[in-house]
Amino acid sequence: MSELVALGKAGAAIRKANAEGRAALVGYLPAGFPSYDDGVDAIKALVDGGCDVLEIGLPYSDPVMDGVTIQRAAAAALAGGVRTRDVLSTVEKVAAYSDVPVLVMTYWNPVERYGVDRFAADFAGAGGAGLITPDLIPDEGAEWIAAADKNDLDKVFLVSPSSTDERIAMTTAACRGFVYATAVMGVTGARDKPSDLAAPLVARVKAATGIPVGVGLGISNADQAAGVAAFADAAIVGAALVKALEDGGPAGVRALAESLSEGVRREPRSAVDR
């Protein structure tokens, strides 16, 4: 796979930010929370706040890798009646709002139940850029990889501090868009400080691939975003934005996104950093 193809839509947006001398900001919110319409408005607020890539969560009944904040939001969205078709229509509305790439983060079961080929086609038709699949590994993802390639979609797989070099090489070879480096072991959620394991993991991933590396799990404020931006191509923020939505609605989301956007711009990056 050529590096240009591997970049995909999300990777191109990240590299555009990197060319400006900064890391990209990837913002996550679940669809349908606190309601369908408010969820759409909140995701649009991520755009207005300066996010370079959007990550929309598909609410799932058994989110084993998510922390309590995202679990609570997903449960509320499901209780409100949000289903996969509502996630796709959210993607369509957000994609029509701006040219910021829209990814969906989803556990694999909802895609499988919807139909892999059908989901890929409907998602691409809605303007989606690709999927982040936290519980699907490349060696078990042949059906998704084929459907994604057929529909020109990004495939973002995860690596963690426990990944072997062999696993990192295999995973990054299957990625398109960027590689998602989980900076801590365990479930997601904002933390007082990012993991010390993040920078060494990014260095290992960069030794295996030329496509961007994003770091998620634990970033909650501008200072932490600035710290991650010093060594990663993208800073990924989720739980803190969900909490901002709970506390302050879409306006709260925009305010935090603006602060995080300032954080990733704080330390200029040279070409040798990338």
Q: Model confidence over 147-178: pLDDT tens digits?
A: 999 999 999 999 999 999 999 999 999 999 99
Whether 30 contacts 242, CB under 8 Å:
yes
> Which residues, listed in sequence order, are joined to residue 54 by a DSSP beta bridge?
27, 102
Residue 64: the pLDDT is 59
Q: Determine contact, residues 49/250, Cβ cutoff 8 Å.
A: no
The mean pLDDT of 232-247, rounded to a whole number, is 97
Does 66 qualify as catalytic in the annotation? yes
80, with CB counted inside 10 A (0-12, 13-18, 19+), is middle
Query: Residue ranges of the domains in the chain?
Result: 7-265
CATH architecture assignment, domain 7-265: Alpha-Beta Barrel (3.20)
Eight-class DSSP state of 51: -
Q: What pLDDT, on the 0 to 100 scale, is given for residue 200?
A: 95
Q: pLDDT at position 152, please? A: 97
**pLDDT value of position 185:** 44
Residue 14 pLDDT more than 50?
yes
Catalytic residue among 55, 86, 154, 233: 55
Please tell me which residue in 41, 66, 86, 233 is annotated as part of the active site.
Answer: 66
pLDDT digits (tens, 9 = 90+) for 37-69: 999 999 999 999 999 999 999 999 866 566 788
Angle between helices 239-264 and 36-48 (to 10 degrees): 10
Residues 6+ apart with CB under 8 A from 230: 267, 269, 273
